[in-house]
Amino acid sequence: MSGIQERATSPEATTDGTTTTASMSTQRGKSATVTDTAGGARELREGHVAQGSRRQPRGPAGVKRLKQRLMLADLTAAVTGAVVAFVVQGIVHPVPPFVWHAHVGLFAISLPFFAIGAAATHMYQARANERPSHELGNIVKTVAVGMSGLVGVAFALQYKDLSRLWVALISICVTLSLAAERHVARRIFNRLRVEGKLSRKIVIVGTDAHALGLLHTYERSPELGYEVVGFVGSDDIGQRSGVGVLGDLDELLDILDEQQAVGVVVSLLSMASNVVNVLTRQLTDAGYHVALSSSLRDIDLTRVRPQQVDGRTLLYVEPVIRTGWRARAKRAFDVMLASTVLVLSAPIMAVAAVFIKLDSSGPVVFKQIRVGRHGDVFTILKLRTMTVDAERRKASLMDQNEMDGPLFKMENDPRITRVGRILRKLSIDELPQLISVLQGTMSMVGPRPALPDEVADWEPGLHERLRVLPGITGMWQVSGRSGSSFEDYKRYDLYYVDNWSLVYDVRICAKTIGVVLTGRGAS
């Protein structure tokens, strides 16, 4: 989770595809002859570490201390959760003092089992806690191991006054307390990575276009905490963002040692499989971290399942099913949420309508043709935030467009009214679209509904976003909104379409609340 070791994740932070991370092993001593992509012989010199010794990767300074602090924070959170459980127990079902003391003793005795659970679920390895959902799952497993130890100790001591209510409360409260503490810790570690205080040096093996894409991925994702110090390969690609080729493949181990790097990311497209196999074995035996980057891109990790066939490692990609009960569940979710929000926001829209009328002449509701699922057009409803001649004036403002691609956006658009700026900042102008959700032409979550003239300028691949209903909110809106580029617009929307699940919809709706309250990226 927390930047203690290594990680790779979804659309904002991947190694340009699916990666497999190899952990450390044992020795570094002899040289090995391998065949490179040109078929010639190369010797991977294994440096000067003595036979049988184990190299310790050089991580950022203070990592061990941060890990110890995280352990202390986990212990504090667990104890805090237990205290809350005791308080709730005392309110709901008071117990005699001697029973309370026995329960305190049982919890204290069970703490080593919680530590065993944390070790078994790799709670202190970032690669095992890449996403909040992964971390929450590990927390639940850790608490399950701890509570199993607690119940086991009670059984071994033949303690007959164990309260089932107390066991349930301890499980729930400790889980929630650990989840809250880890959420704060994750934010702290992300900030430290962005500030460069937890940066770890890595080398990219390969000099092809895919390897360059990996460099750009890490540059766009400072929260991962990696600093690419150079490439290793036979081609001279010059300096890219201040990063150049450090040497050939046969010099890799010396380069890693000289650069004090903790590991490598290998572009699988740049070398033959037999080279990758030998290279991976040598690097992991020497104590370096190895990530193998495939050509897969924007495939959610939850859909990828490794398989092994005759010694070959395959990646099976689970299909996304949008029909059957899943489609009915999404529709039920849309109707229930849209109905609830529409009722709650009716007074807000009524007040907004009054201010719109007082601020400028024209109708309260703005109607516009948009492109929906399968290319069907429909009429979208929004509270009017611009002057009535806004569409006519758009052509004269095109030279001031601040967005790339077919999208149009101006930070200080003169067509927006005074009230309109406030409505846009708070996303109140979007509320009438709830009617379109109830009608079935839109969803609560989906790609942004595009204008017909935008669709006319789309490249063929972007038409894939029309496979689903457009949404009031979506991955693009909560991840970048108006401040992101057209490339981000395409990538986020297509990522959502390709990896859709109802869980995604719930997450995006939850994120939308924070985006609306802060007004982040709205225009």
pLDDT tens per residue, range 358-400: 998 889 999 999 999 999 999 999 999 999 888 888 878 877 7
State residue 14's pLDDT score: 38
Mean pLDDT rounded to a whole number for the chain: 82
Is pLDDT of 289 > 70?
Answer: yes
Q: What is the mean pLDDT of residues 39-56?
A: 41
State residue 466's pLDDT score: 93
458-470 exposure pattern, b = at least 16 Cβ within 10 A, e = fewer: beeebeebbebbb
State residue 238's pLDDT score: 75
Is pLDDT of 302 > 70?
Answer: yes
Beta strands 289-293 and 19-22 are: antiparallel
State residue 59's pLDDT score: 53
User: For residues 85 and 103, what is the distance between their CA atoms, to the nearest angstrom?
Assistant: 11
> What are the pLDDT digits (tens) for 61-99?
566 788 889 999 999 999 999 999 989 988 887 777 777
State residue 164's pLDDT score: 86
- Do the beta carbons of residue 395 and residue 324 sit within 8 Å? no
State residue 38's pLDDT score: 39
> What are the pLDDT digits (tens) for 139-160?
999 999 999 999 999 888 888 8
User: For residues 137 and 127, what is the distance between their CA atoms, to the nearest angstrom?
Assistant: 14
> What are the pLDDT digits (tens) for 408-462?
777 788 899 999 999 988 889 999 999 999 999 999 999 999 999 889 888 888 8
Closest CA to 376 of 440, 295, 290: 440
* Tokens, residue 399: 């030279």
Q: Full-prediction pTM beyond 0.75? A: no
State residue 44's pLDDT score: 46
Amino acid at 461: G
Percent over 90 (pLDDT), the chain: 41
User: For residues 200 and 59, what is the distance between their CA atoms, to the nearest angstrom?
Assistant: 6
State residue 358's pLDDT score: 92
Percent over 70 (pLDDT), the chain: 85
Q: How confident is the model at residue 163 (pLDDT cuts 50, 70, 90)?
A: confident
> What are the pLDDT digits (tens) for 468-517?
999 999 988 887 554 567 777 888 889 999 999 998 899 899 888 888 87
Is pLDDT of 173 > 80?
Answer: yes
User: Lowest-pLDDT range, 7-16, 227-236, 446-455?
Assistant: 7-16
User: For residues 389 and 398, what is the distance between their CA atoms, to the nearest angstrom?
Assistant: 15
Neighbours of 339 (CB within 10 A): 13
State residue 57's pLDDT score: 52
Main-chain phi, psi angles of 245, to 5 degrees: -80, 125
User: For residues 277 and 290, what is the distance between their CA atoms, to the nearest angstrom?
Assistant: 11
73-98 exposure pattern, b = at least 16 Cβ within 10 A, e = fewer: bbeebbebbbebbbebbeeeeebeee
Q: What is the mean pLDDT of residues 112-137?
A: 88
- Do the beta carbons of residue 375 and residue 427 sit within 8 Å? no
